């Protein structure tokens, strides 16, 4: 049975809330890590905050227009945001810059772990029943005696947690790919000498490399993500 327009809009709102919070925390983590390690650029730009407005103002296309278009076309949602930093600071402290790059995916890892634990607890308690592989927004559904009694509340929570867990797992895995302009590329500095790390960073500044990196990352992502998702679901679902 096809979803109604109202159901589609409601699902889109759930996706957008999950996307907005996950992306905001990702960029806030970058900004906070940079501030703690000596670069206040993002702090002065208002990015050390869980308020999504400053992040939307910086990247309205990636945080509003693209997610809505992708959802309308495919039924799921992804986009991007960014946090400013001082390139001179990154050149002086390449290892700190590498740690700053990992802070964003680290935030998504935290959110995936927390939502995964809540899902697991809900399955054990009888709020949810596991439905892995059904759809992106139904990794779990309201089920069992407790979930049935809760009615719409359990169903809404199951949908939100399914989306939130999956989205943060996607953001974590995608951003860790060592391709420009993704965070994994910035983290490469952690395994290089300071001199080589600076030369590596400068070589990656060309816009054509960033475009090529995104295209390659999208091409190779799903074969990489599938075993990651399977592993994560085995950790989440009891038995």
- Does residue 181 have a cis bond before it (omega within 30 degrees)? yes
Q: Which of 27, 59, 145, 195 is catalytic?
A: 27
Show the tokens assigned to 128. Answer: 């949810």
Q: Which residues contact 102 (CB under 8 A, 6 or more apart)?
A: 183, 186, 187, 190
Q: At 128, is the secondary structure helix, strand, or coil? A: strand
Q: At 67, is the secondary structure helix, strand, or coil? A: helix
Q: DSSP secondary structure string, 171-214?
A: HHHHHTSSSTTSHHHHHGGGGS-HHHHHHHHHHTT-HHHHHHHH
27 a catalytic residue: yes
Show the tokens assigned to 209. Answer: 């490399």
Q: At 151, is the secondary structure helix, strand, or coil? A: coil
Q: Give me the active site residues, please.
A: 27
């Amino acid at each position: 049975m096809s979803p109604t327009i109202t159901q589609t809009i409601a699902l889109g709102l759930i996706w957008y809330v999950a996307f907005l919070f996950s992306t905001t925390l990702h960029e806030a983590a970058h900004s906070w890590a940079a501030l703690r390690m000596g670069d206040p650029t993002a702090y002065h730009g208002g990015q050390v905050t869980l308020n999504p407005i400053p992040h939307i103002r910086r990247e309205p296309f990636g945080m509003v227009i693209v997610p809505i278009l992708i959802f309308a076309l495919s039924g799921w949602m992804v986009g991007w945001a960014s946090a400013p930093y001082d390139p001179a600071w990154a050149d002086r402290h390449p290892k700190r810059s590498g740690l700053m790059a990992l802070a964003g995916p680290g935030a998504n890892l935290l959110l995936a772990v927390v939502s995964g634990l809540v899902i697991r607890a809900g399955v054990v308690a009888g709020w949810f029943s596991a439905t892995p592989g059904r759809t992106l927004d139904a990794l779990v559904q309201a089920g069992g005696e407790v979930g049935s009694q809760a009615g719409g509340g359990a169903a809404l929570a199951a949908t939100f947690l399914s989306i939130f867990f999956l989205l943060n797992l996607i953001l974590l895995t995608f951003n860790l790919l060592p391709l420009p302009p993704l965070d994994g590329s910035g983290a490469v500095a952690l395994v290089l000498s300071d001199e080589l790390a600076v030369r590596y960073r400068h070589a990656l500044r060309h816009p054509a490399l960033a475009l090529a990196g995104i295209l390659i990352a999208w091409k190779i992502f799903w074969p990489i993500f599938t075993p990651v998702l399977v592993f994560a679901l085995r950790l989440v679902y009891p038995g």
